[in-house]
Amino acid sequence: MNLPININDLLTARTVEWERLEFKEGWNPEAVLHTMCAFANDFHNLGGGYIVIGVGEKNGKVVIPPAGLRVNQIDKIQKEIIELGHRIQPYYHPIVVPAIYKKKHIIVLWCVGGQTRPYKAPISLLKINERFAYYVRKASKTIIAKAQDEKELFSLAATVPFDDRINHTAVLQDLDLGLIRSYLQQVKSDLFEESIKMDFVQICRNMNIVDGPDECVRPKNVGLMFFNQHPYKFFPQTQIDIVFFPEGLGADSFSEKIFNGPLHKTLEEALTYIQSQVIVEKIIKHDDRPEADRFFNYSYIAIKESLCNTIYHRSYEIREPVEVRILPECITIGSFPGPDLSISDKDIKTFRLSSRRYRNRRVGEFLKELDLTEGRGTGIPKILNEIRKNGSPQPVFYTDNDRTFFTVEFPVHPLFLKKGYRGSVFKSSVQSGAQSGAQSGAQSGAQSEQILIALSASPLSMLDIIKTLKLKSKTGSLKRTISELLSANYIKYTIPEKPNSRLQKYRLTEKGKNRLSK
């Protein structure tokens, strides 16, 4: 049996963060038991972790070449691991993979996040011990959960992230072997060669993209997202829409390009399209020196990082696409919902969007192995650094108090601004710092203009607005637009003391009237 990732990449923490790795130079069953339990609890929804037996660690670095294990230890340790799984309550068993690395025998335990957490394990393996404890990972250490952590762990009971759940509407045949093998080849997994002679169910189990008994094996959602040709059949609106507004949002004309299909393919194709069709370079030559200055209208690396993180952190239960808007003065990337409520407005303003718990533990795992995201909280710093290198204005973040949506705006480099262009200014209540003089991009789109015009006649309820815009229902895009208009004080409630009243309507403010008259 082989792992669905490259072992060298694993041991050098290239595709897996250090907090998800535990190295044991020798066989220590009690320590392994506690770490298995901690990874099974997956306290931060990171996707569990890996225990590597036979490889030591010193000062945060793997000792190469590894000490390795004796050949006659391998079978004995594997049997003991099965016994350890029965000591955990409820029973838990990791995927055990013996391997050879640098001519040394090692064992890798892939401890995926459990489906029936919380898990507890004996504090000691001595027969006289009857005390159990809940174990969790904090940074790169396994510890007994404190009272508050234990309380939070119980709140996660039976709550498995959406991407790691079994999809009972799908069947095994919905998974595409060609896509699976293509992925394994791309990440240079040893499982690629072995998969030629393996049973299809076993390949899927090795990749942890199916679950259930052998007589009724079902795909997990993450398997359908990556390894089905048409995942939007299971997850409507799982796509990336790139929409061009060449004359700005107030104009009648626009064009769009829709990307859908396997999640990683969709992301790669959208990024290729942006790089070839949107990113433009400007070269400025100087008489006093041979070197020319080179600027891009947008930093491609910053756009790529933002779009990859959006695919990682969006909700796949909400039927709304990821939308990329290309305007004369900015690019915006929007998705649903917004950041976790644990991230404050101040954190957003100061670019500190570090969540304590990830929404999609498995999606992130696959994207990291494809080098499309890092998952170490480095996304925002990387975006800011690349923007700074290009001389572009800082990005602007938009969300609302309930975090129902999140949009990041990248202002165009000042050298590429159209002279005389005047964009409308719709801002949410949460924005980042200064924009270095660049014009703000419109966020609400043509929909904002339509709502303002409709309200100029009389106050309207949400149902009235839906009918006026000829929508079938209250979409996520409409909720975001309404929120932005309220935050910008272009509209306000007719019953402000009861925002959720069934009699609630919206009316135009003086600021909104002035906006329409311009």
Lowest-confidence region among 24-28, 183-187, 446-450: 446-450
Residue 134 lies in domain: 1-159
What is the predicted pLDDT for the residue at 446?
Answer: 66
Torsion of CA 120, 123, 127, 128, to 10 degrees: -120
Q: Of 385, 418, 442, which residue sits at a domain end? A: 442
Q: Which residues pair with 137 in a beta bridge?
A: 142
Task: Quote the CA–CA distance of 292 and 278 in Å, as a whole number.
Answer: 22
What is the predicted pLDDT for the residue at 62?
Answer: 87
DSSP 174-218: GS-HHHHHHHHHHTT-THHHHGGGS-HHHHHHHTT-EES-GGG-E
204-216: pLDDT as tens digits: 999 999 988 777 8
422 and 505 part of one domain: no
Across the chain, mean pLDDT equals 85
**Which of 231, 240, 227 has its CA nearest to residue 183?**
227
245 and 142 part of one domain: no
**Which of 299, 302, 296 has its CA nearest to residue 283?**
296
At 292, is the pLDDT very low, low, confident or very high (cuts 50, 70, 90)? confident
436 and 453 part of one domain: no
Q: For the domain that residue 474 is a member of, what is the CATH number?
A: 1.10.10.10
206 and 142 part of one domain: no
Residue located via tokens 């048409």? 230
303-326: pLDDT as tens digits: 999 999 999 999 999 889 999 999
60 and 111 part of one domain: yes
371 and 473 part of one domain: no
At 435, is the pLDDT very low, low, confident or very high (cuts 50, 70, 90)? very low
What's the half-sphere exposure (Cβ side, CA atoms, 13 Å) at 135?
Answer: 27
CA distances for 311 relative to 203, 220, 380, angstroms: 25, 18, 15
What is the predicted pLDDT for the residue at 429?
Answer: 34
pLDDT at 432 > cutoff 70: no
Task: Quote the CA–CA distance of 109 and 499 in Å, as a whole number.
Answer: 52
Grouping H, G, I as helix, E, B as strand and the rest as coil, residue 412 is coil
295 φ, ψ (degrees, to nearest 5): -130, 150
228-283: pLDDT as tens digits: 999 999 999 899 999 998 887 666 678 899 999 999 999 999 999 999 999 999 88
421 and 321 part of one domain: yes
The count of domains in the chain is: 4
pLDDT at 23 > cutoff 50: yes
Q: Of 201, 230, 259, which residue sits at a domain end? A: 230
pLDDT at 357 > cutoff 70: no
At 158, is the pLDDT very low, low, confident or very high (cuts 50, 70, 90)? low
Chain centre distance of CA 181: 23
**Which of 100, 121, 98, 116 has its CA nearest to residue 108?**
98
93 and 193 part of one domain: no
301 and 404 part of one domain: yes
170 and 212 part of one domain: yes
471 and 399 part of one domain: no
180 and 170 part of one domain: yes
Grouping H, G, I as helix, E, B as strand and the rest as coil, residue 22 is strand
- b/e per residue 456-476 (b: at least 16 CB within 10 A): eeeebeeeebbeeeeeeeebb
Q: Of 196, 230, 264, which residue sits at a domain end? A: 230
Task: Quote the CA–CA distance of 100 and 3 in Å, as a whole number.
Answer: 12
Q: For the domain that residue 2 is a member of, what is the CATH number?
A: 3.30.950
Q: In one letter, which amino acid is 174?
A: D
**Which of 324, 332, 352, 350 has its CA nearest to residue 340?**
352
DSSP state for residue 420 in the 8-state scheme: T
What pTM value is reported for the model? 0.67
- Asked if residues 380 and 349 have their Cβ atoms less than 8 Å apart, the reply is no
Lowest-confidence region among 198-207, 296-305, 375-384, 399-408: 375-384
pLDDT at 501 > cutoff 90: no
36-66: pLDDT as tens digits: 999 999 998 888 899 999 999 888 788 989 9
**Which of 229, 295, 287 has its CA nearest to residue 260?**
229
Q: For the domain that residue 413 is a member of, what is the CATH number?
A: 3.30.565.60
